[in-house]
Amino acid sequence: MPRFENKVRCIHNAKQRQHTVQRLAAMYGYICWYCGADISGTAALKLRLDHIVPRSKGGTNEGSNLALACEVCDGAKANMSLHQFLEWLHSPKKSVYRVEEK
């Protein structure tokens, strides 16, 4: 999973954020950092810039705390820690892409 420490300094507004998303996607590919989904083509419009450590838990806008995420993972992660989210994502009962079996 790529980290963006030296590629991005700090995000201050929506325009900078979108520019950063596009630049990082072009550099590292249109791939979700969490689930590995290919988000190229029209789905690239739904590519998000996620805070690895949520801002609500002390995370910053520095490049080392940013990851490219698909819309589904970004929404599902919410303010979970990276460890909590990856554990949830790979759980057989609660996966972003699976319907729970009855």
User: Residue 62 falls within a domain, yes or no?
Assistant: yes
Q: What is the pLDDT of residue 95?
A: 46
Structural domains of the chain, count: 1
Q: What is the pLDDT of residues 73-84, one digit of tens each?
A: 999 999 999 999
User: Residue 101 falls within a domain, yes or no?
Assistant: no
CATH number for position 49: 1.10.30.50
Helix (H) or strand (E) segment spanning residue 51:
strand 48-51
Question: Greater confidence, 26 or 97?
Answer: 26
Question: Given its phi and psi angles, is residue 47 left (phi above 0), alpha (psi -120 to 50 degrees) or beta?
Answer: beta
User: Residue 67 falls within a domain, yes or no?
Assistant: yes
Q: What is the pLDDT of residues 40-50, one digit of tens each?
A: 876 666 788 89
Q: What's the predicted TM-score (pTM) here?
A: 0.69
CA distance 96 to 13: 29
Question: Greater confidence, 19 or 93?
Answer: 19
Q: Which domain holds residue 18?
A: 14-89
Whether the Cβ atoms of residue 102 and residue 87 lie closer than 8 Å to each other = no
CA distance 47 to 31: 9
Whether the Cβ atoms of residue 23 and residue 49 lie closer than 8 Å to each other = no
Question: Greater confidence, 82 or 3?
Answer: 82
User: Residue 5 falls within a domain, yes or no?
Assistant: no
User: Residue 80 falls within a domain, yes or no?
Assistant: yes
User: Residue 28 falls within a domain, yes or no?
Assistant: yes
Q: Is the pLDDT of residue 11 over 60?
A: no
User: Residue 97 falls within a domain, yes or no?
Assistant: no
Q: Is the pLDDT of residue 37 over 70?
A: yes
26 alpha carbon, distance to own chain's centre? 15
